Structures are given as structure tokens and as C-alpha cells.
Structure 1
Amino acid sequence: MSKAMEIKQVVVDEIADKLARAQSIVVVNYKGLTVDQATSLRNKFREAGIDYKVYKNTLVRRAAVQVGNLEKLDDVNLVGTNAIAFGYEDAVTPAKIVAEFSKTCPALEFNMGYVEGEYYDAEAMIQISKIPSREELIAKLLGSLKAPVSNFVYMLDALAKQKEEQGA
């Protein structure tokens, strides 16, 4: 095996590892982004703990075959200038970052994605980006659980104050 093939195999193995570990994979078309915009996007992903990288499409295809169950990462869907965001913690965060960034920079477009093993096209990825993040859902759940207890405590406090006023 030639040196170039060995280097490519190392990159394919790296991509395959990321594909296998990721809860979500968001493929975007970044054509038209300026260097400053691309740097800003990378920083947003890095702050959120998301891997974002540009790979050669052929190497991504090879890695997808190696991993399996990613049949849409093929030569029909994976063409052009693509970058991939790998979300390991929260499946929705990469899509949210892309959607938020594309509001100020319309050159960035969803291409496709996988969320928890399911394929989604660009339109579906836009809808997924609107789903609240895990932290938001947990906060809403805790708020819902806390509300009845808080209301009960406020009612008891009001009754206690009323009794004090009547006794005084």
C-alpha cells in the first residue's frame, strides 16, 4: 500500500469513528462563506463541543460504508462543498447552530443529516433545528414539576399570614 493510501485510510478511520459515535450528523454546504464567517461558525461549534470539519466527499463515503446504516452518504447526496458537524452530546444542537448562523449568513445551507441513526433531508433538518435542546426540555420539565409545589407553599404561607392577622 502506498503512503498516500495509508494516509487516506487513517482519515477514513477517523471519519468512521466520528460517524459511529455521533448522535447527530449535519452536512452543510458552506460555499460562499467568507473566511471570517467560517471561522466564526467553527468557534460556535467548538464552544458547544461539536466537531465540525471539511472532509473530502470520497473519504466520507468510504467511512459511511465502513460504518454501515448511513446509505444516504453516497455519491448522489454527498456532492459539492460540504462540511460535517458531529454532535455527540445533544442531537439537536448542531442543527440549531447551523439554523441560527444561516439567519445572518444565508450562504450556509443544510444539505442533509442523520439524527440518532435516521436520515433527514434539508427541510427536515430545518424542522429539527426548531426542537428545544435537551437542557431546555429538562428546564421546562423541572418548572412543570416545581409549579404545583410552589403554589401549595404560597397558599400555605397566605393562610398562615391570614391566621396571624386574625389572631392579632
Structure 2
Amino acid sequence: MSKIVKEMIISEIQSQISEVRDFVVVDSAKVDAITDNGFRIKLQEKGIAALTVKNSLARRALANIGVEGLDDVLKGPSTLVWGGEDIVALSKEMTRWASDISTLEIKGGVTEGTALSSEDVTKLSKSPGRMELIGEIVSRILGPGAQLAGAIKGPGGTLAGQIKTISEGEES
């Protein structure tokens, strides 16, 4: 492959992944074509992209956009997978696919410049996602306020009920 062609491929890879900092790398070489096509279509429906790359060209493209840590992972057949809500959602999706397709292998990944092994991706898939964590934080913030409101409302409601009973008794 000529140097010009390599540079064109590298620039194309860079244009596709220029804003991305979280990747999971899988080996889909042993997956049959029909299964691989269905796999990619389902990923696209969820806003996840997959790109099978030549490792040396991918390393150069990733280095050009400032993504480090995939050098050990980019060995053998490699497919870069990115997108979704966050790295946790991406790792959950890829772990689910790896269990559904026995020939799909998770090789590792990178998030915010930190390299992940395949075990790290699996562990990450078991942690709560961004929206789950936000919900948990909000419930913890609102919890004491709800308890305080209940503590104030309880005696106030009792007092209001007693005043109403007394006022109804005076009318009759």
C-alpha cells in the first residue's frame, strides 16, 4: 500500500473518530458475515459505531487525535467500537454481544486516556451507568428534604385537623 493511500485511510479514520475518547476494541474476525452484519446494524440503531481497522493505521490515527493506551490492545484482528451514552453503556452493550456471539472477543479499550483490559471492560459493564448515578445522587439530595417536609407537615396536619374539629363543634 502506498504512502499516499495510507495517509488517506488515516485521515478517514481520524475524521470518523475525531471527537471520541472512549473505545472498546473487539475481535470480530471469527464472526460469520451474516451475524456480523446483524451485529453492526443493531449497534447503529443504538448510536454505536464499529470500524474494522488495520492496527498500524489505527495506532497512527489515534495518536494524531491524542488517544493513547491502545497499543497493547491493537494486535491481531481489531474492530474499534465507540458511541452510546457513555463508556459504561458501551461496555455493557459489548459484553452482552460477546456473550450472545461466542466468537466475538473483547480485547480491551480506553476511556479518557486510561487503557482498559478485557477484564476491566467486563467489570465496567457491571457498574451503574451515568443516568443511574445521576438518579442516585438526586435521590440522596432530595431525601433529607423530603424527611424534613414530612416532619413539618405531620404535626401541622394534625394541628389543622384538631382546629377544624373544634371549629365544627362550636358551630353546632
**What does residue 147 of structure 2 align with?**
151
Secondary structure of the corresponding residue to residue 74 of structure 2: coil
Where does structure 1 lack aligned partners over 5 or more consecutive residues?
none
Contact 2:28 2:78 survives alignment (8 Å): yes
With the length of structure 2 as denominator, give the TM-score of the two structures.
0.76
**What does residue 126 of structure 1 align with?**
122
- Aligned runs of 1:1-168 on 2, under 5 Å? 5-67=3-65, 70=68, 72-73=70-71, 77-87=73-83, 90-167=86-163, 168=165
1:146 shift after superposition: 1.2
1:111 shift after superposition: 0.4
The structure 1 segments of at least 4 consecutive aligned residues displaced by more than 6 Å after TM superposition are none
Q: 1:151 to 1:94 in 2, by over 3 A?
A: same
**What does residue 170 of structure 2 align with?**
none
Spell out, residue by residue over 1:28-81, the C-alpha distance to the aligned partner (whole angstroms, 9 max, x if none).
Answer: 01233344543443244324433211122232133244445625426xx42333
1:122 shift after superposition: 1.2
What CA distance in whole angstroms lies between the structure 1 residues aligned with 2:15 and 2:84? Answer: 12
Where does structure 2 lack aligned partners over 5 or more consecutive residues?
166-172
Contact 1:91 1:116 survives alignment (8 Å): no
With the length of structure 1 as denominator, give the TM-score of the two structures.
0.78
Contact 2:70 2:110 survives alignment (8 Å): no
C-alpha RMSD of matched pairs (Å): 2.7
1:113 shift after superposition: 0.9
Q: Which moved more, 1:85-94 or 1:117-126?
A: 85-94
Aligned residues with identical type, % of pairs: 25
The residue identity in structure 1 corresponding to 2:76 is G
Secondary structure of the corresponding residue to residue 98 of structure 2: helix
The residue identity in structure 1 corresponding to 2:101 is C
